[in-house]
Each structure stands twice: as structure tokens, then as C-alpha cells.
Chain A
Amino acid sequence: MSTTKDEKRETVDPARRNFLRAGLVGASAAAVGTGAGVAQAQASESDSEKKKARYKETDHVKKYYATNRY
């Protein structure tokens, strides 16, 4: 039995796991990409940018004011 196993081991093509390596490289590259994206998204705004006015009198806001005048 043991002889048969050894024979099998010898006949196994070592390149058969290359697709796993390729997968690993791809996954780590993707993880690095995502990490960079998150870091970018989490970056805080500059002092002037975070204090800027965000209120805009859009149609949505005008409609709100109009309904409150009833």
C-alpha cells in the first residue's frame, strides 16, 4: 500500500497548484486595492472643507417650506 502512495506522489504534477497561487496573488492585490479605497474614503476633510455651508435651497427644501406654511 505504502509503495503505491509513494508512486502516486511521484507522478503528481507540481504545477497543478499554480492556479491557487495565481488566485492568492489576485486576492491580495484586490485586498490592497480595497484597503486603499477605504483609507481614501475615511480620510477627513480639510478644516475649511468640513466647515463649509452644506445647506442649499433646493426644490425639495422649498417644498418643505411651502407645506409648513399651511
Chain B
Amino acid sequence: MKSIIIAIICFISSTAFAQSNYEKSMRQAMGLWQSGEIQKASALLERISQAEKDNWIPIYYQAMILTTAAFREKNKETQAKYIQSAEDILNNSTQDNNSEWLVLRAMNKTALMVTDPMTKAKELSPTIIGLYKKALAITPNNPRAMLGLAEFRMNAKKYFNQDSSKECEDVKKALSLFNEEKVTAPFSPSWGKDRAEQILKECK
């Protein structure tokens, strides 16, 4: 009887172990990201993604971490390295029809654009808008694509002191989509609600 119990427990714990290895590592990576350990988080996600070859989520987060880090990085060289590394990941993929992936590509291009808007905006802004539009065409209810596009347009309009009430409507719509959004797989992208709320405050 004891041996049976042990066998069962062992079986359970080993499946639980296998199950949690991904979750544990992902959680660890998120923890490293939150504490600002960009490179370590990125390295860990790289390890996870090569162990989970069919799962796009770890590598999505790797590109995400590098891209968001680029926005904050002050050192031009490190910044360029982050953008380039993320771009290499985003280019080298079969995810071209993944709406979330396209949103991230648009963010990566935006990070590149803001390094030198004077020379890069002209060429990159149509590309960025194009990526958001494609993301929306694939998944019309992707709140991140809707928010991203609205925010990008809003920034341009703000600059020209133009009315951005249409974009505010889009953000409102995105927010309601955020509220309806259900997480389908663990760690699948679900960020953006806070940002939408924050932008909406500025709308009023």
C-alpha cells in the first residue's frame, strides 16, 4: 500500500514538476524583469524558448523585455543593442500572422523611431501604422493593437495640437475589450489595461 502511495505521489509530483518547470521559469523571468535584470531575464527566456521550441510565448517576452528596456535606456549603444536584438528575434520567426507578434514589432519600430525621430519618423511611421493595422485585421478585437495604434496616432496629433477625440474613443473601446479579455494560455499577452486607463485620464 505504501509503495503504491509513494508511486502515485511520485507520479503526481513528477508531472507537477514537469508542468511547473515552464511556469516556474517563466515566473522567475518575470521576477528578474520586474527587478530590472534585463539581460538575465532575457537570457532565461532564451533558455526557456529553446527548451519549448513550439511555444512562441517565451521568445515573445524576450523581445518584449528588450524592446521596453530600449525605451528607458539612456546609453545609446546599449539602447541600439536592445532594439537590434529584439528585432533579430522578431524577424526570425514564423509568427507573421500572430496579432500579438505584430503589435510587438510595431513597438520595436517605435523604439527605433524615437531614438532619432527627426530622420526616422518619416520612414518608420507608415510602417508602424501598417503593422498595427495588420494586427487589427488579423484579430479585430486585440485590445493591445487598438491601444497601440490609438496611442501612436495620438502622440502625433498632440504634437500638432490637433483634436484626438477619435483616438480617445478607440482607447475607450480598447479598455472595454481589456475588461472582456480572457487569458487563454498561461502567460499569453494580457498587458495594456493600466496603460489604457492612464491614457483615458488624459483624454478628459
A binds B: no
Q: Which residues of B contact A (CB under 8 A)?
A: none
